[in-house]
Structure formats: structure tokens, C-alpha cells
Amino acid sequence: MEYKNRNPRAAIYTLGCRVNQYESDAVEEELKSLGFEVLSFTDVCDVYIINTCAVTAESERKSRQIIRRAAAANPDAFILVMGCFSQIKAKEAASIPGVDYVCGNRNKLSVSEFAAKLVRSGKKEKNADCKILDVETAALETMTVNKAYRDRCYIKIEDGCDNHCTYCIIKKARGNVVSRAPEDVLAEVAAIARDGCREVVLTGIEAASYGKDLGGYPLSRLMAQATKIEGIERVRAGSLEPSVMTEAFCKELADTEGIMPSFHLSLQSGSNRILAAMKRKYNREQVLRHVEYMKSVMPNVTFTCDIIVGFPGETEEDFLQTVDIAERIDFLHMHIFPFSPRAGTPAAQMKDQLPESVKRERAHRLGEIGRALAEKRYRRSVGEERSVLFESRMGEYFYGHAEDMLEVVLKTDEDLQGEVLRVRIVDYDGKHAVAEEIR
């Protein structure tokens, strides 16, 4: 394909989750196969593709902002919009000046073909073309990524969610759980391993529910199978709903070499009353029991989590229950979100909405506790050995992550990009574990 004596130029901007990033990578591969040169979003391009998010009202606002920024960067460029915002608010996305095409979450690869069609035509139409598929009935889109775009590669294993959490709108944007066939996932893992990837993260909108629509093929089995692929040294899972961590799940992972001892829990609260109001599928006792069992079979395991503070009706006692579970589990890191009412969800209409000042204060308090827990964990690691995937250089240091997700820095002149090395932790600099190479 030629475009004004050169290949057409495209750029993709991705908002939101790791699944969105994976889908953007798949679109990028399709664009390149069609003859596009894919550049940075800051470059002047002929085509801009925005992969939007809608998890919060702020995410929607940012999506609209990026669409307008693209139109301003090059008024003659073709603007294509996909993702969660366009899935649930297609007309609004299509009405933004400059937008040429809008699709949702089950036909994202269509943006590549439509982009090619637009550059062939060479002209912008007055009204955007809009193709939104019903996420409740449309099949899971077949997409793959064969290139290792980063040192830690994320692979989408499922789409959709079967939960009905009162604060969340993503089920409306993504539909019910639909899993990819395990052989397709493993073939993709093998492809990126051949391209040099050493660590994969199997992720999805609700990764914990993987396989429930495949006759009960569990996530733990898929993870274990991924470790057997030549070239893959480290396997992780994306965010997990805590109820998936049964004894069978924990034991299979603990018995499999190559499964990394670090798990991210979509916890949200430590209060049973608030968990019930959120319509989560577990209680604090289950979480603590599952975590303790995992610690018993995988002693070096660490946990990170998502927590919402200031949910409607959350009392000081409810908040202290969250503090208590955080301290008991000993989280390495907590992603803390002050509750933000999401239009279209039951929680936005609940009584007893808390003042913003209370939400901010609780987020700050929990953040301070989280920082103290992390510091203790890092200081305990001094003198211990770790295996580290090195991912980036800054000045004299290479940065990476250990098996248990400790952030590690190593002073070196060598290029360690993508290398997995055994190191010894010798210090803690207030943010990172400082390491020396074991020779």
C-alpha cells in the first residue's frame, strides 16, 4: 500500500487495562500487515486510533480528551475509536468532531481494515461510520499477538465478567465470560517465546473465571501448561478475584516450577458488610483462609491488591476491617481508590454517600500503612537472593522485578535488557531493593 509516495502512518493510544493494551498490540500487528507504519501518538500521522476506557467517569473524560487531541494534531487525519467508552456510548463517541469510525469491544480488529479503506479513499466523511456488536451475543474476536512488545508480555485469555458488582460498569461494556481455547493461548505463548519473551502474564477482564465456559478447564492448569513452553521462564496471572484461590488452585501452582510467587487480588474491601453491599462473591474469612494456605505451600509468596475506600455507607469500623486484613496479608503494594460514583451503577444511587474529604483521608491513611508494610518487606529481603527480569535502564542502574515482584536495581555497565539474572539484595534505598550480581 502506498500513500502519497510513502506508507500511511498510524498511531494508537491505549487507555485503561492490560487487556486493552493487548488488544492494541494485536491491532498494531494488523496495521503493519496492511502496510502501515506505526508511530508514536505524538507524531503527525494519517490515522489515529484511540482504544478507550470507561471504568470511571474520569476514564471517559480522558477518552474524549485524547480523541479531540488527535483531531487537533492533524485535522486531516482519520480518527478511529474503539473500546469500552465507544461500546457503551457509541453515539457520543461518533459525535466528537473529526471521528471517522467507531467500534466496540468484540470487533476491534475492524479498525485496521477500516483505516486502510479510509486512506485508500483519501477523504473524510461528514458522519462517522459506527459498527457496535452486542457483547452479550457476539463471539469472542479472534486475535493474536506474535511479537514480544515488551519484556513482560501480557496475553489475553478471556473477555467479559460474570460478576454483578454494584460499583462497576465493565460487564455492560464487556459482556459475560468467554474464554479463549487453551491451545490458542499456548500457541501464542510459544510465538512470543520464539521472539525472545521470557515472562508472560495471562490476563483477562476476569481472569479467575477462565475456563468456566470450557467445561471447567481451570486457570491454574493453563498457567502450568504455559511454563512447559520452551523459552518461557516465568508465568504470572493478572488480577484475581480471591475466591479462585482454592486449595487445589494453590497447590497446583506451588508444585509447578516457573510460576512466580506473586499474586494480585481484586480485594476491594476487608469488611464483610461492604463486600456484601458491593456484591462480591467472598468474605474476609475466605480471603484470609485462602491467603494463609497459599503462604503455607508457597512460603516466599507476596500479594498486591486493589482496594476501594469510602464506599457508600462505609463506617470507620468497616475501614478498620480493611486496615486489619491489609496488615494480616502483609501486602507488598496496594492500589487504593477513593470510591467514585459511576453513572449507571447501583452504587451511584446508594444512600450514605461519603464526603470526598473522608474518602481522601482514608485513602491517605491506608496508603501510609501500605508504605510501611512495603518497607518492612524490602528490608527483610536484604541478604537474600532473587531472580530478576531486568526491564529498563536509568543512568548507571538497570531496573527489574524479582519473582516476588520486588523492584530491584543493579548498578552495571552491561546491557541487561530482557535478561533474567540471579542477584543478591544488599540494601534498600527507600524504594527499591539494591542488588549485586552473583558471579
Could you tell me if 35 and 8 are in contact, meaning their C-beta atoms sit under 8 angstroms apart?
Answer: yes
Question: Domain 152-378 falls in which CATH fold?
Answer: pyruvate-formate lyase- activating enzyme (3.80.30)
Superfamily, domain 9-131: Methylthiotransferase, N-terminal domain (3.40.50.12160)
Mean pLDDT to the nearest integer, 393-420: 96
Specify the pTM: 0.94
CA distances to 12, 18, 199, 371 from 107, rounded to whole Å, are 16, 18, 28, 41
Parts of the chain belonging to CATH 3.80.30.20: 152-378
How does the average pLDDT of the chain come out, rounded? 96
Structure confidence by residue, pLDDT tens digits, 151-165: 999 999 999 999 999
3-state SS record for the chain: CCCCCCCCEEEEEECCCHHHHHHHHHHHHHHHHCCCEEECCCCCCCEEEEEECCCCHHHHHHHHHHHHHHHHHCCCCEEEEEEHHHHHCHHHHHHCCCEEEEECCCCCCHHHHHHHHHHHHCCCCCCCEEECCCCCCCCCCCCCCCCCCCCEEEEEEEECCCCCCCCCCHHHHHCCCEECCHHHHHHHHHHHHHCCCCEEEEEECCHHHCCCCCCCCCHHHHHHHHCCCCCCCEEEECCECHHHCCHHHHHHHHCCCCECCEEEEEEECCCHHHHHHHCCCCCHHHHHHHHHHHHHHCCCCEEEEEEEECCCCCCHHHHHHHHHHHHHHCCCEEEEEECCCCCCCHHHHCCCCCCHHHHHHHHHHHHHHHHHHHHHHHHHHCCCEEEEEEEEEECCEEEEEECCCCEEEEECCCCCCCCEEEEEEEEECCCCEEEEECC
pLDDT band of residue 228 (cuts 50, 70, 90) is: very high
Band (pLDDT 50/70/90 cuts) for residue 5 is: confident
- Burial class of 27 by CB neighbour count within 10 A (0 to 12, 13 to 18, 19+): buried
In the beta sheet, which residues pair with residue 154? 201
Task: Note the pLDDT tens digit of each residue in 131-144.
Answer: 999 999 999 999 99
The amino acid at 120: R
Do the Cβ atoms of 305 and 266 come closer than 8 Å? yes
pLDDT recorded at residue 3 = 67
Residues 6+ apart with CB under 8 A from 228: none
- Asked if the 385-437 domain carries CATH number 2.60.40.350, the reply is no
121 pLDDT higher than 70: yes
Residue 1 has pLDDT above 80, yes or no: no
Q: In the chain, where does the domain assigned CATH 3.40.50.12160 lie?
A: 9-131
CATH 2.40.50.140 in the chain is located at 385-437
Mean pLDDT of 80-97: 97
Q: Per-residue pLDDT for 373 more than 80?
A: yes
